[in-house]
Structure 1
Amino acid sequence: MHPRLLKTFLVVARCRTVTRAAETVHLAQSSVSDQIQSLEAELGAVLFTRLKSGLELTSAGLALKPIAEELLRLDAEARAAVLAAAGQTSGALTIGALETIASARLAPWLPGFQASYPDIAVRMKVTDSGALLRLLEEGDIDVAFCFERRDMFNGGANQRFARRTILAEPLALVTAPGQKPVPCDLAALAALRFVATEPGCIYRHMFDTAFAEAGTGTPELAAEVGSIGAIARLVAAGAGLGLIPRLAVSDALKRRELIELPWPGPEPAAPLTMIWRRRRVQPPALRRLLTAASDMQAPASSKASSDAESSSRSKVLL
C-alpha cells in the first residue's frame, strides 16, 4: 500500500466527500476517486459507502483507518531516521499558530531562524487552537504554537503529543483613555462590565480562569465577540474593560488607543506553548526548530513600553 494512497484514504474519511478531499490534497476529484479505487482493488474490499450525509467508512474501512495512521507514522519516522543518519538538516516544515502568536511572536522570530537554517523551508498556517490540534494529529502541520489550556490534553492527547512551554504571556487589563477610575480591588473589579471572546475560545478560557483563580465571580459581559481585535476596538470605544494577552494589544497601547491598568493581585499570564507529535525519531528540521524556539523571548520593547505607561495608569486608579 503506497503511502500516497493511504493519505488520500484518510483525507476522504475525514472530509466525507470526494470534493472536499480533493480541495484538501490539491488534486482533481477524478484523481482522488482513482486513488481510492486503486486502494480498494489492492485490498479487495470496499472502503466507503455513500449515504445522504456523505461517505461513511465500511467495516473494512474502519479496520484500515488505525493501521493506515500507524503506517504513515512509521513511514515518516523511517524518513526522519534516514535523514538524521545521513546528517541532513534540510527539509520542509509547516508551523501552525494562533493569529496573535503568529503576528506578535513568530513573525519577528522566524527571519532569524531562516537565516540560520536557509535549507529549511518554512510554511505557516494560522487558525484557532482546536483546529491546530486537529491539524497536528492529522499530520498537516509539524508543530503548533498556542496558549495552553488545562483541558487541552485530556484523554489520549498526553500520549500523542509532546509539549514545551516557551514563556508566560502576561494578560493585560485594558480600558479606554479617559474612562472613570477603576477600583484596585478584585471583588470590585469583578463587578464591572467586560468585553470577552465567545465560550470555547482560548482567550475566553484565559479570561474565565483569571477570575476563577482570583476567587471572584465572573464579571458581567458587555459583549461577546469573535476576535481579540474586536475586543480591542470595543474597549477603546468605552464598551467595557478587557483582559487579554498584552502582546495582542501592544500596538494599541503604544498608540494610546488603550490604557493598561495594574491587575490587583499576582499578574495573570497564559503559557505560550509549542506542541508536536511524539515520534521515536523527529525529522532533523523539526528538531532544529524546536531547539531554536526554546530561546524565543518577549521583545525588549514590551517591558520598556510597559514602564513608560506606568505613570499614566496611576492616574486612572482610585
Structure 2
Amino acid sequence: MHPRLLKTFLAVARSRNITRAAEAVHLAQSSVSDQIQSLEAELGAALFTRSKSGLELTPAGLALKPIAEELLRLDGEARAAVLAAAGRTSGALTIGALETIASARLAPWLPGFQAGHPDITVRMKVADSGTLRHLLEDGDIDVAFCFERQDGAKGAADGRLARRAIGAEPLVLVAAPGQGTAPRDLADLAALRFVATEPGCVYRHMFDTAFAEADMAPPKPAAEVGSIGAIARLVATGAGLGLIPRLAVSDALARGDLRELRWPGRMQAAPLTMIWRRRRVQPPALRQLLAAALDTLAPERLETGSELESADSSKALFPNNTLAKTAAS
C-alpha cells in the first residue's frame, strides 16, 4: 500500500466527500476516485459506501483507518530518521496559527527564521483553534500556534500531542473612542453590550468565566464574530465593547481608533502555546523551528495565571535541557 493511496483514503474518510478530499490532497476528483479504486482492488474489499449524508466507511474501511494512520506516521518517522542520520536539516514545514498570532507574532518573526535557515521552506495556514487541532492530528500541519484555556480543556490531555507555553498574551477591554465610562465592577459590565467571539473560543471562555466566578450570568453578546479583526472594527464603530488580545489592537489603540478600559477584577491573559505531534524521531527542520520559536518568541518572563515562570532558556520549557528529545517526543 503506497503512502499516497493511504493519505488519499484518510482524506476521503475525514471529509466523506470526494470533492473536499481532492482539495485537501491537491488532486483532481478523478484522481482521488482512481486511487480509492486502486486501493480497494489491492485489498480486495470495498472501503466506502454511499449514504444520504456522504461516503461512509465500510467495516473494512473502519479496520483500515487506524492502521493507515499508523503507517503514515511510521513513514514520516522513517524519512525523519534518514534526514537526521544524514545531518540534513532541509525540508518543508507547514505552520498553523490563529489569525491574531499569525499577523502579530509570526509574521514579524518568520523572515528572521527563514533568513537563518534558507534550506527550510515554511508555509502557513490560518484557522480557528478547532480546525488547527484537526489539521495537526491529521498531519496537514507540523506545528500549531494558538491560545489555550488555562483549565486544560480542548485536548490538553491528548497524549498524541506535545505542547509548550511560550508566552501569555493579556486581554484588554476596548471601546470606541469617547464611548461610555470605565465600568466600576462586573455588574456594570453585565449591563453593557459586547461584541464577542463564538462559544468555545479561548477569549469567549475567559469572558464567560470571569462572570461565572462572580456568580453572575455573562451579558448576552450583541454579536458573535469569528474574526478578531472584525470584532475590533465593530467595536470602533460603537457596536459594543470587546475583550480581545492586546497584540491584536495595539496599533488601533496607539492611533486612537479604540479606547482601552480598565477590566474590573483579575487581569485576563491567554497562554500562547505551540503544539506538535509526538514522534520517536522528529524531522530535523521541525526541531530547528521549535528551538528557534522557544529562543526568540518566548519572552524573558512569561505569566501563567498568577505565577511567573522563567523562559530564558530551554530548561524552563524543555525539562532536563533535552530540547531535541522533547521535540522528538
Which TM-score applies when normalising by structure 1?
0.87
Q: CA deviation at 1:200?
A: 2.9
Deviation sequence 1:160-179 (CA, Å, 0-9, x none): 11111110000011112112
Change (3 A) 1:176 1:17: closer
- The answer for the alignment partner of 1:86 in structure 2 is 86
Relative to structure 2, which stretch is displaced further, 247-256 or 37-46? Answer: 37-46
1:164-179 equivalences in 2 (<5 Å): 164-179=164-179
Contact 2:203 2:244 in 1 (8 A): yes
1:29-44 equivalences in 2 (<5 Å): 29-44=29-44
CA–CA separation in structure 2 for the residues paired with 1:186 and 1:50: 53
CA–CA separation in structure 1 for the residues paired with 2:225 and 2:30: 41
- The answer for the alignment partner of 1:251 in structure 2 is 251
- The answer for the alignment partner of 1:114 in structure 2 is 114
- The answer for the alignment partner of 2:231 in structure 1 is 231
CA–CA separation in structure 2 for the residues paired with 1:188 and 1:22: 51
Question: Does the residue aligned with 1:170 lie in a helix, a strand or coil?
Answer: strand
Contact 2:183 2:262 in 1 (8 A): no
Deviation sequence 1:30-65 (CA, Å, 0-9, x none): 222221122112212111122233221111111011
Deviation sequence 1:99-147 (CA, Å, 0-9, x none): 1110000000001110111100000001111100000011000001111
Question: Does the residue aligned with 2:165 lie in a helix, a strand or coil?
Answer: strand
Contact 2:183 2:263 in 1 (8 A): no
- State the Cα RMSD in Å: 1.9
Q: In the alignment, is residue 152 of structure 1 matched against residue 154 of structure 2? A: yes
**Unpaired runs of at least 5, structure 1:** 299-318
CA–CA separation in structure 2 for the residues paired with 1:99 and 1:27: 27
Change (3 A) 1:53 1:265: closer
Identical-residue share of aligned pairs (%): 81
Q: CA deviation at 1:215?
A: 5.6
Deviation sequence 1:190-239 (CA, Å, 0-9, x none): 44332212223333223223433466541343333332223222222223
Q: CA deviation at 1:297?
A: 4.4
- The answer for the alignment partner of 1:24 in structure 2 is 24
Q: Number of residues paired by the alignment?
A: 297
| Counterpart code for 1:140 | D
- The answer for the alignment partner of 1:201 in structure 2 is 201
**Unpaired runs of at least 5, structure 2:** 300-329
Which TM-score applies when normalising by structure 2?
0.85
- The answer for the alignment partner of 1:124 in structure 2 is 124
CA–CA separation in structure 1 for the residues paired with 2:53 and 2:181: 56
Change (3 A) 1:232 1:83: same
Question: Does the residue aligned with 2:134 lie in a helix, a strand or coil?
Answer: helix
CA–CA separation in structure 2 for the residues paired with 1:2 and 1:130: 30
Contact 2:95 2:144 in 1 (8 A): yes
Deviation sequence 1:273-316 (CA, Å, 0-9, x none): 11111111110111111111113047xxxxxxxxxxxxxxxxxx
Relative to structure 2, which stretch is displaced further, 76-85 or 177-186? Answer: 177-186
Q: In the alignment, is residue 58 of structure 1 matched against residue 49 of structure 2? A: no
